[in-house]
Amino acid sequence: MRVDESPETDANMDPATAFSVIASETRLDILEALWRAEDRPVRFSELFDAVDLSDSGQFNYHLQELTGQFVSQGADGYDLRHAGAQVIRAVRAGTFTRTPDIDPFRVTGACTRCGGGLLAEYADEQFAIDCEDCGKAHGEYPFPPGGLVDRTPAEVATAFAERVRHLHCLAADGVCPDCAGRMRTDISRDGDCCLDVSVRAEFVCEQCRHELCSPVGLTLLDDSRVTAFYDDHGVDLSSRPYWTLPWCVDDQYTTVEGTDPWRLAVRIPLAEAELTAYLDRDLQPVEFERQACGH
């Protein structure tokens, strides 16, 4: 089934109107109450009791303003629509309300270039991990402010590593991690990049314009053949932060074997063995080759 965009229909709401609808503390409280409800749909009386408003008429007015785009109404009561849930998720993630200021902290692992310590710094909703000694960049990626709440620095680092892993693997599969729109994959070879690599993957959503940039190897972290390779050596790849894996942050493990069509090779050394993944222009693995190191 293909869904075409229809800019002017009764089923669509223009962005300005949508934001004006939720620009009310009472309406956000209603959405929050629905989000917190253990059982949904929620009857009118139960929803009214959950919101700090004494006038049922005013409450009903605000509820009806939400109904349709953000809230659904049925015979059994009211429920959150996807748009309503997204509003609450954005609020709780701190996307619009928090500007945290945290001190840099050290993370596990060593610089893949010089062996120095690694430092994580947070600014503008981005974490950057760099070597304290030589300054080598080990990736800079988005992380919502809500991810810092009630977590120690070590827990934040773990959450950040998991988020990076899944965001980029999802993007490589052509799905935008923000809006689920179609993600376009480009391969870039210029040097203008904060990742300190010359060959990188660039992902752009054709719908919301969300952008991600990564070394090529990072897109392989969730591949079953790569995880199996690590399992065969008694290593749980899911427990390894990406910045401790040289093939996820360094250029020397990625080779451009052709550009017409694109063919990239990513070497993944481990112990006395090596797995090479061959990728096409969409960064989809087309072949794997395993051999002992030095052969």
| Closest C-alpha among 129, 136, 132 to residue 112 | 136
CB count in 10 Å sphere of residue 245: 22
**Rounded CA separation 214/201 (Å):** 5
As a whole number, mean pLDDT of residues 7-24 equals 66
Which residues are registered as beta bridge partners of 274? Answer: 269, 291
Chain segment 140-174, per-residue pLDDT in tens: 998 988 888 889 999 999 999 999 998 888 998 99
Q: CA-based diameter of the chain, in Å?
A: 78
Q: Is the pTM of this model over 0.75?
A: no
- Burial grade of 198 (CB within 10 A; 0-12, 13-18, 19 or more): middle
Confidence of residue 179 (pLDDT cuts 50, 70, 90): confident
CA 63 to chain centre: 32
Q: For residues 126 and 184, is the Cβ–Cβ distance under 8 A?
A: no
Element (H, E) at 163: helix 153-172
Tokens 């752009």 locate to 204
**Rounded CA separation 87/121 (Å):** 28
At residue 50, the 3 state secondary structure works out as: helix
Torsion of CA 242, 244, 246, 250, to 10 degrees: 70
Chain segment 207-217, per-residue pLDDT in tens: 888 888 888 99
| The pLDDT of residue 278 is above 80 | yes
Domains, the chain, with CATH or none: 15-93 (1.10.10.10), 105-218 (no CATH)
Angle at 125 between CA 122 and CA 128, to 5 degrees: 40
